[in-house]
Structure 1
Amino acid sequence: MFAVLTGAGLSAAAGLNAYIPFLMVGLLSRFTDVITLPGGWQWIESWWALGIGTLLLISELVLDKIPVVDSINDVAGTVIRPATGGIIAAATQSASALDHSSFLQDHEWIAFIGGLVVAGVVHVGKSTARPAINLGSAGFGAPIVSTAEDVSSLGLSLIAVFVPILVVVALIVLAWVLWKYARRMRSFARRRRDAEHAT
């Protein structure tokens, strides 16, 4: 049960920023006993995976704060974020330290598909809201919203690993915030367009 919540929370975090939950799982597995990745997933904690993940995180942190470039980055994220969500969900749900379910350990593909779907839904919400936010704020909202997404990804990852029972609440809040932002920014963009046409 907790492993499923952990996988769902980490997948949702990957929908916002693929590299934060990936690195968290890799680092926790490498340096602590909080997560013990099974044999087929131990590559996540390897130095090369952590190094590449760190470089990609740095590029994501920069590119996602630049208007227009962030939308191009989201196009690449359409593959990367759901795939990372699936990988992280499958790896953590089959980790014996999180759950002792032999079903989850024997059917990693179910966790992979579930993680893929959760991360994909969050990614679609993020990538749909972002152009509206950029348009509505003349691009000034991009770094603010991107930073909020990064903090949310980190917070959701921490909750998923250390307090998985709160994942459901965190996912509801995340869905509400994405919906509210998109709605507010579309309304702002519409008012701005109407004002420009009136002049």
Structure 2
Amino acid sequence: MLAALTGLGLSTAAGLNAYIPLLVVGVLANFTDAVKLPDGYAWLSNWGVLAVIAVLLVAEVVLDKVPVVDSVNDAVQTAVRPVSGGVVFSATSAAAELDHSTWMTENPWAGWLIGIVLAAAVHALKSAARPVVNAGTAGVGGPVVSTVEDAGSLGLSLIAVFLPLLVLVVLLAGALLAWMTLRRVRRHRAARRARSAHPPG
């Protein structure tokens, strides 16, 4: 159960930033016993791979702070973040250990699928909310929100590894935030359609 929570937490973090949970898992696998990579995932602890991930992370952090560019970056990340979610879910042995299920062990694709779907859902919410934030704050709010997302991804990645039970609390809080954000996005779109249908003057 704890392994499953770790995988869920890391996949959620990947939806916010594809590279932070990958880097956390890889570095912790090298320096601690908190992460034990299963067969086939040793590459994730390779320092050359981690260096590439670190470079991509820096680029992501910078690009996601620039209004308009952040939306383009989100479009590119539509493929990257879900894949990252699948990798980190599976790489933490969550799929093999989920409820000690032999079915999960014999069907490793299930761990990938769970991670991909969860990361994709978080990414979709993030991508839908960012234009609303940029439009509502004249671009000023984008970098602030992006910084909060990066910090959230790092914090959730560490919680998922070291305090997996707290992942449940974080996911519930995230679901509430997602519901509130979706309501705001819908109101913004409705207001924009109303303005288009009834232009001033």
With normalisation by structure 1, the TM-score equals 0.88
SS in 2 for 1:164: coil
Is the Cα–Cα contact under 8 Å of residues 6 and 161 in structure 2 kept in the other structure?
yes
SS in 1 for 2:165: helix
- The Cα shift of 1:198 comes to 4.8
Measured at CA, do residues 39 and 111 of structure 1 come closer, stay the same or move farther in structure 2, by a change above 3 Å? same
Establish whether residue 112 from structure 1 lines up as the match of residue 112 from structure 2.
yes
Q: Percent identity?
A: 49
| 2:143 match | 143
| 1:4 match | 4
Establish whether residue 90 from structure 1 lines up as the match of residue 87 from structure 2.
no
Residue segments in structure 2 that go unaligned for 5+ positions in a row: none
Which amino acid letter does the alignment assign opposite residue 147 of structure 1?
T
Which amino acid letter does the alignment assign opposite residue 36 of structure 1?
K
Show the 5 A alignment for 1:13-162.
Answer: 13-93=13-93, 101=100, 103=102, 104-162=104-162
Partner Cα distance (2:72, 2:93) in 1: 32
- The Cα shift of 1:100 comes to 9.3
Moved over 6 A (4+): none
Greater mean deviation of Cα atoms: 163-172 or 122-131: 163-172
Partner Cα distance (1:164, 1:94) in 2: 12
Please tell me the root mean square deviation across aligned C-alpha atoms, in Å. 2.5
| 2:167 match | 167
With normalisation by structure 2, the TM-score equals 0.87
Give the count of matched residue pairs: 196
Which amino acid letter does the alignment assign opposite residue 117 of structure 2?
V
Is the Cα–Cα contact under 8 Å of residues 9 and 160 in structure 2 kept in the other structure?
yes
Partner Cα distance (1:94, 1:23) in 2: 17
Cα distance per residue 1:50-85 (max 9 Å; x no partner)? 001100110011000111100000011110000000
Greater mean deviation of Cα atoms: 47-56 or 168-177: 168-177
Measured at CA, do residues 51 and 105 of structure 1 come closer, stay the same or move farther in structure 2, by a change above 3 Å? farther
